[in-house]
Amino acid sequence: MDSISIAATDRVFVLTGAGISAESGLPTFRDSDGLWAGYRIEDVCTPEAWQRNPAGVWAFYSARRAAAQQAKPNPGHLALAELESRLPERFFLCTQNVDDLHERAGSVNLLHMHGELAKSRCENDCGAPPVEDHAVYASLSDVGRCACGGLLRPHIVFFDEIPLGMERIEREILRATLMVVVGTSGSVYPAANFVHWARQNGARTVYVGPEAPLNAAAFTHVVEGKAGEALPGLFVVEA
Ligand code: NAD
Ligand code: ZN
């Protein structure tokens, strides 16, 4: 089997996508013909959908919350948390996923660039911070309001909105010597560009997943397999 060696001088940047949570029972887009859990993205994850039909958006994200709460981290999430514990201060995990399976597996140095299911925030740009929210809303009248009067919306980056933490992400990519990308189709930007930035900066770039992503040419190494089977034991950490 392939193994990837990590030297004492290496600094690792990991990017994960929906594929790493597939073995935990959470559906990806790709495996359902571009739908997410049976929904068209433009009906549930765009600013226009929120303006037009906030009840529909909340119904979708309430169902995603309920599914994520039922799911458990799989060996892929656990392998990344274990790798981090062996590389203190030299490991950064950026996920496109909105579930919390990485943190439940033990990952610490973690950034959710597309937001988090378990939080809500004001729909207005009023400066109020996101709040923890595990509620599964049956009706829009149950959804709370901010002090400014705005309705709470999911703390999710809708399509056409700017991802969270981009300055930190760019900084981490620029100092990484190894980029590992797991379970993402390479179709959502800017995440699909991260591998190019890392490559331009001289890093080794590894993809892990059952099929080649759209940006496969930018990887120095492709490990074909499911995250939960390929990640455990993949990395050899040199002293
Ligand atoms: P995608 O659905 O476009 O692609 C999924 C990728 O995962 C595919 O390339 C597929 O080959 C791969 N895959 C399938 N099973 C796998 C496995 N067992 N191990 C490893 N890889 C596997 O997903 P994306 O590129 O992450 O883009 C989806 C967007 O939708 C993201 O922005 C994300 O915010 C959102 N999303 C999130 C979740 C979640 O939080 N769990 C789920 C679906 C979608
Ligand atoms: Zn507000």
Question: 215 and 187 in contact (C-beta within 8 Å)?
Answer: no
Q: What is the CATH number of domain 1-26+73-114+162-239?
A: 3.40.50.1220
What fold, for 30-70+120-156? SIR2/SIRT2 'Small Domain' (3.30.1600)
pLDDT confidence of 58, banded at 50, 70, 90?
very high
Per-residue pLDDT tens for 199-235?
999 999 999 999 999 999 999 999 999 999 999 999 9
- Tell me, using a 6 A CB cutoff, whether residue 227 lines ligand 1: yes
Average pLDDT, the chain: 95
CA 232 – CA 78 distance, rounded (Å): 8
Q: For residue range 84-126, list pLDDT tens digits in order.
A: 999 989 999 999 999 999 999 999 999 999 999 999 999 999 9
Q: What percent of the chain has pLDDT over 90?
A: 91
| Residues, Cβ < 5 Å to ion ligand 2 | 122, 124, 126, 128, 146, 148, 150
The partner residues of 95 in beta bridges, in order of sequence, read 16, 112
DSSP structure string for 81-94: HHHHHHSTTSEEEE
Query: How many angstroms separate the alpha carbon of residue 116 from the centre of ligand 2?
Result: 18
Q: Give the residue from 124, 117, 116 showing the smallest Cα distance to 62.
A: 117
Residues of the chain with CATH 3.40.50.1220: 1-26+73-114+162-239
* Pocket of ligand 1 contains residue 64 by CB under 6 Å: no
Q: What is the pLDDT of residue 1?
A: 53
Q: Which atom of ligand 1 is found nearest the CA of 76? A: 19
**pTM of the predicted structure, to 2 decimals:** 0.96
Catalytic (active-site) positions: 114
